[in-house]
Structure 1
Amino acid sequence: MSTADTTVKSTADTSYAAVAGSERRLYWALADCWNVTRRTLTHYQRQPVNIVWQLGFPIVSVLLYGFVFGEAMAVPGDGDYREFLMPGMFASTMAFGFMGTTMAVVTDSTKGVIDRFRSMPMAPSAVASGRGVSDLLVACAELAILAGTALLIGWEAEGGALAAVGAFGLLLLLRFSLIWVGVWLGLLVPNAEAAGGLYAVAFPLTMISSIFVAPSLMPTWLGPVAAWNPVSSTVTATRELFGQPVSGGSWIEENAVLMAVVWPLVITAVFLPLAVRRFQGLSR
């Protein structure tokens, strides 16, 4: 065999080995991600009280705001408040979900679980990706239960099946972006008590928005703040896709569907690298 043939064969073998190595790394990254996801879901199975609270609270909120406060709430155009409320409750549940992510991550961190994962021969991305997958699965369950509750109280998606699928997709996109906020905060705060204090940040995030009241009905200084809240863009977009639009004069409200995609992408672009960097910076 000539020198040229030997060089070509050596190059081909190296390329094949690199491809095979990449495929093995991808396989084990997916396998490790699934193992972390299964671990999280197993916790729900063994501690059903947690999932009952997590899935039951949105239902109580719908009944509280829809029937207790709903009679006193106004909707632009004199629309039905429960139809106005439901897209907001969908988005509120997705937005508040990042606190569950934060509490779970900080609990694993303070108990040494994450350090144990880091010492094992597993893909470094598996901890974060497994948390993301499991949280999205729980978010799908939350949306399904909320949608069933909404149908029982008379709400319906009037924009058609395809538009409804798009609306739920935007809700899950918002939840996906906020997962990385939760992971970053969970790795940042020192303990669960400090994480609990973050509810003081999460509460205004949802309340100063268009979830419960249209920005046009708010004071002139507060309405623009609520309209530019990323959660408000998702709420307004889902109302439009569900066939229950509320007129708004600002640019952000008229382009709600576009911004319901842009905001989550921006949040992900900011907080995903921060979460990864924080994870990599943990002491071994």
Structure 2
Amino acid sequence: MQKQANWQTQYAPWGLIIGCIIFGLGSVIVAHVPVGAYAIAFWRLAVAALIFALLARFFAQKFPKNQQALRHALWAGVFLAFDLALWHESIYSVGPGISTLLNSLQIFWLSAIGVMWFQEKLSPLQISSLIMAIAGVALIGSPEFGHNANALWGFVSGIVSGLMLALSMVFVRKTQQAAHTPIFPLMLMLSLGGMAALIVPTLLLDSGKILPTTWSQIGWILIYGAVMQCFAWGLIAYSIPLLSLSLTGLLLLSEPVAALLIDFFFLNKAINTWQWLGAFLTMLAIYLGSLKGKSEK
């Protein structure tokens, strides 16, 4: 058992990085499917709920009997739902790459929550890497204000989505602390909690843009729910309880760097020297945070 636990801890950072990169690829789907921000978040979670229900039944994974664990999991889903919806709003305003960068300011929120709620202490190296990471993300995103009239809303919705994601991750962690919860029931509860939270906003804010209109759009939504929500978010949720919140925040910055590369190579977005410098600072911060995380084990 100890050997298995050590193996899980050793590879948890890689699982988190892979999950984040695939998670970020969903921004390209959102940008090209003409469904409202809240509606596509609802459908993503609905697809995931069906898949996780089937997986939980197939693998005979049980829901926790602990009521506190159930509540935490549902709250994690509520925060995840608004993370997705606001991230989608940011995608529509500033594009897939920048919106994902803004969402990744969750590093600040996660570290602050770790200090205030879980009494985690930050070393000078961690503080320096956090400052470096935030500066890197700022360098990557700041040029957008010079030519985009929707930049303000895009930045606000993107930054707030990061807070929602950080809170979702905290409640995933609290769920596992309350009672061990197998991954498939956990993800099903997240999906159900998020769907419930999105019903009213979807009906009020996305009227006329709730349903996909072509088979192609339906196919992309199915991919969005199955791959990005089930596989990628499943990896993230599995890895989070095995890592400190501060290290989690740093590793999650692999997502914006991947998004920037996607924008440059596949969506032909112009990237200036300052933005590349920001990407370098971000990757360096991730490396320093990873070294510190290993030394703490």
Report which of the two has the higher share of helix: 2
TM-score, scaled to structure 1: 0.37
The structure, 1 or 2, with the larger RCO (C-alpha pairs under 8 Å, 6+ apart) is 2
Larger Rg belongs to? 1
